[in-house]
Amino acid sequence: MATVPPPTRRPLPRALSTEANRFWLAFGAATVPALLCQLLLLDLGPAWSNFTVLVVWYGAHLVLHSLAVAVAFHLDFATARREPPSADRSWRRRLLHVDPNVDLAVWFSAFALAAAVALAATGVSARSAVLAAGTVVLVVGAWVDVLVSFAADYARRDHRAGGLDFPGERPGAFADYVYFSAAVTTTFGPTDVTVTTRELRRLVLLHGLVAFVFNTVVLALLISTLLG
């Protein structure tokens, strides 16, 4: 009896195959809503008009980058989690000791914090629905990008050297790491997953601190500004 060969898995599209490619894909696609925003008549003066375009671009970039990472890991989890760490040893990466996607998420979250503080301090959002909507997209996009980017980093590190002890069966899909990342993002620490290595404990600590600042400061400022 002839055996049926297992179905061959198609390789990831080139645009999704590496973190650098996913970054530039989101970078280019985010220019479309930013250009549309630039064409609108924004009665805020040149400085705030430029800031609004920047907020819209950042927000769109974060949403698209999160989507690109999630799609890449969903299409070919085995290949995506084997992606080697970046050789870039910039001071930002040495400081945070993270992979490029997490580095991006952390610094973009800092920009979301700055944007929320600027809106709270000036009240300009009351005069610009576009700026208010763009800031909401920026904050939500930053929150999602933190969750997805850390999930991707957890998956890569756990594959390379272990460090996450899931109850029951071993994780076999990206959703398992999204579950763990969501737990850290919302509760600032691991829940039923045991962290067994120093490297992963340091990463979880960074993730919890970023999530705490983001959830308590950025969301509080944004809600008070929009409701006030």
Decide: 200 and 164 in contact? Cβ < 8 Å.
yes
Nearest to 217 by CA among 125, 110, 145: 110
Calculate what percentage of the chain has a pLDDT beyond 90: 25
- Please give the pLDDT value at position 1: 43
The band of 214, judged by pLDDT with boundaries at 50, 70 and 90, is confident
The pTM for the full model equals: 0.84
Dmax (CA) of the chain:
76
Q: Rounded CA gap, 188 and 12, in Å? A: 33
Side-chain-side CA neighbours of 4 within 13 Å: the count stands at: 2
Copy the structure tokens of residue 83: 């992606």
pLDDT, tens digit (0-9, with 9 covering 90-100), for 148-196: 999 999 999 999 889 999 988 888 899 999 999 999 999 888 888 999 9
- Name the one residue in this structure whose structure tokens are 């700026």: 131
Looking at per-residue pLDDT, the higher value among 147 and 117 belongs to 147
Domain positions in the chain are 16-83+90-227
